[in-house]
Amino acid sequence: MSWKEPSPNNGPAITGYKIESKTTTGEYTVLTTIGNITSYTHTGLTTGSQYSYRTYAINSAGTSVVSNVATAKPGHTLIPTNLIADDISPTSILLTWNPPSQTFGGSITGYIISKRFAADVYDQVGETNGPQTSYTVTGLHTGETYTYVVKARYNIGTNSDNSSPASATPTASSAPPSKL
């Protein structure tokens, strides 16, 4: 799972996050407390079971109100998942995603990044080589919204289908998330 750091509200800087989880019938329990990173991988889950998650930001003033609840049901994925577009400068967007879990015996040799130009019309704007699961798009216009999809490229000469789209709008105050 991953999330975007909350916008500063003239308060102390975020120092970490508390993540709670539950199964369909259980109560929320603290899964982990982590430093100032905006992602966490919950492993050892049962395929087909549903899990719910909620997150709190932590700073020197205490713990925030709870986030919205996100649910997931582990299973094999055939496309890149959890694509996130994060405006990291007035002219750049960082894309991050999770690789597909099912590669049918092939290996991922890279990813193809495409930008939406019209409804369901995408054009390739970049690619990666190897298993890296991030890509920075640069040279963008401040104040314009950009939407992207990603697909995996396999060593057997095929590609996955496109991921779900993700959008971001670089602004004059866009900056990378702070890391402690």
**Exposed, middle or buried by CB within 10 Å (0-12, 13-18, 19+), for 142?**
middle
Q: Mean pLDDT throughout 102-107?
A: 82
The count of C-alpha atoms lying within 13 angstroms of the C-alpha of 109, restricted to the half-sphere facing its C-beta, is 9
pLDDT of the residue at 93: 97
pLDDT tier at 150 (50, 70, 90 boundaries)?
Answer: very high
Tell me the one-letter amino acid at 180.
L
C-beta of residue 161 within 8 angstroms of C-beta of residue 80 = no
Angle at 71 between CA 106 and CA 147, to 5 degrees: 65
pLDDT of the residue at 180: 43
Higher-confidence residue of 26 and 9: namely 26
pLDDT at 106 over 50: yes
Q: What is the pLDDT of residues 7-23, one digit of tens each?
A: 766 778 899 999 999 99
Spatial distance between the Cα atoms of 57 and 15, rounded to a whole number of angstroms: 8
Q: Which residues pair with 29 in a beta bridge?
A: 21
pTM above 0.85, yes or no: no
Q: Encoding tokens for residue 127?
A: 């690619």
Is beta strand 92-98 parallel, antiparallel or unpaired with respect to 134-137? antiparallel
Q: Rounded mean pLDDT of the chain?
A: 90
